[in-house]
């Protein structure tokens, strides 16, 4: 058995496999299939300061090799997470990543501060949310606003801070460099790509929100490319995500520069995907004489 341990921003994970925020909830449903302790960590459902009902349905649509969603950060709010979900997760022997989101800088900073002194191991700041004070453009589409919110959250929390980057930008490396300079300890990428499906019988978009985030295997090559670009642009660790479905995908993403990975859409078609991937990583390492999986990070050899 190979050593699958990886370290991200000073936090050690028993393996690099982390279910992505929004795809795994808080693990309660999946725990009927396997113990959560087999996972490297869990990035919990995106948490906002107050309870959110999310967007009106329909808010999920199938696409070739993927899916669109416009769930809209439905969650019970920070107090419910801290008082109900976190105490349960803290007993599961896995790392806890609190994914947070807000409509203003102040809201995100307040949320991050609420994680201090708790069992949370790391804060993941979602900067794909619209900035209501600046015309609704996402924080993460502009280096200046990305740096502003990162700096405020960094100041508010004593937890390691990972910033989740949007791919809906011209140059993701500029955003990555901006959040690194503002104090981010790590970055995670990519969040979903903006997409749309239309019902040709009604002439209306399938999603009530008209557009949604595209995830699944279709986005994997884009995610690998962006992880590789960011790896060569910053000095902080990367958690890669976007269409990962197999152990081979994990290896590829790590070779591109990821220290660990998050997996989301694959769970909707196979609840056991994470278990199979961890088993596959052990088999790959054994077959290729790899003693420490972490050693493969960034080992791709460009032509």
| 50-70: pLDDT as tens digits | 999 999 999 999 999 999 999
Residues labelled as active-site residues: 129
Number of neighbouring beta carbons within 10 Å of residue 34 = 14
Longest dimension (CA), the chain: 56
With tokens 């460099």, the residue in question is: 177
| Residue 1 confidence (pLDDT) | 73
pLDDT exceeds 80 at position 301: yes
| Residue 180 confidence (pLDDT) | 98
Instruction: Give pTM, 2 decimals.
Output: 0.97
Strand boundaries in 92-232, DSSP class E: 95-100, 122-126, 161-164, 186-189, 193-195, 198-199, 204-205, 212-215
* Tens digit of each residue's pLDDT (9 = 90 or more) over 156-165: 999 999 999 9
* Tens digit of each residue's pLDDT (9 = 90 or more) over 16-45: 999 999 999 999 999 999 999 999 999 999
Dig out the tokens for 242 from the structure: 């976007």
pLDDT exceeds 80 at position 129: no
Please count the CA atoms within 13 angstroms of the CA of 256 that sit on its side-chain side: 26
Query: Counting Cβ atoms within 10 Å, is residue 186 exposed (0-12), middle (13-18) or buried (19+)?
Result: buried
| Residue 131 confidence (pLDDT) | 65
- How far apart, in whole angstroms, are the C-alpha atoms of residue 90 and residue 44? 12
Q: In the structure, what pLDDT confidence band is assigned to residue 215 with cuts at 50, 70 and 90? A: very high
Contacts of 37 (CB under 8 A, 6+ apart): 92, 93, 94
Report which of 86, 139, 89 is spatially closest to residue 109, judged by C-alpha positions: 139
| Residue 275 confidence (pLDDT) | 98
Domains of the chain: 6-296 (3.20.20.70)
């Amino acid at each position: 058995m190979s050593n699958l341990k990886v370290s991200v921003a000073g936090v050690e994970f028993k393996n690099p496999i982390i279910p992505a925020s929004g795809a795994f909830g808080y693990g309660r449903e999946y725990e009927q299939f396997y113990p959560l302790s087999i996972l490297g960590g869990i990035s919990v459902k995106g948490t906002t300061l107050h309870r959110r009902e999310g967007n009106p349905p329909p808010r999920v649509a199938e696409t070739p090799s993927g899916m669109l969603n416009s769930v809209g950060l439905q969650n019970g709010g920070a107090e419910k997470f801290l008082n109900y979900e976190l105490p349960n997760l803290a007993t599961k022997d896995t790392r806890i990543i609190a994914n947070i989101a807000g409509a203003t800088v102040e809201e995100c900073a307040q949320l991050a501060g609420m994680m201090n002194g708790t069992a949370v191991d790391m804060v993941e700041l979602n900067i794909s949310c619209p900035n209501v004070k600046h015309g609704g453009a996402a924080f993460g589409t502009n280096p200046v606003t990305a740096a502003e919110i990162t700096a405020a959250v960094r100041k508010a929390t004593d937890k390691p801070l990972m910033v989740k980057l949007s791919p809906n930008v011209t140059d993701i490396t500029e955003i990555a460099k901006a959040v690194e300079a503002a104090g981010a300890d790590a970055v995670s990428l990519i969040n979903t790509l903006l997409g749309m499906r239309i019902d040709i019988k009604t002439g209306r978009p399938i999603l009530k929100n008209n557009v949604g985030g595209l995830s699944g295997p279709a986005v994997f090559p884009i995610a690998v490319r962006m992880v590789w670009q960011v790896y060569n642009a910053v000095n902080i660790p990367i958690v890669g995500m976007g269409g990962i479905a197999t152990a081979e995908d994990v290896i590829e993403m790590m070779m591109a520069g990821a220290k660990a990975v998050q997996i989301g859409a694959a769970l909707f078609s196979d609840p056991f995907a994470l278990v199979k991937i961890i088993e596959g990583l052990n088999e790959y390492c054994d077959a290729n004489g790899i003693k420490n999986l972490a050693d493969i990070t960034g080992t791709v050899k460009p032509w």
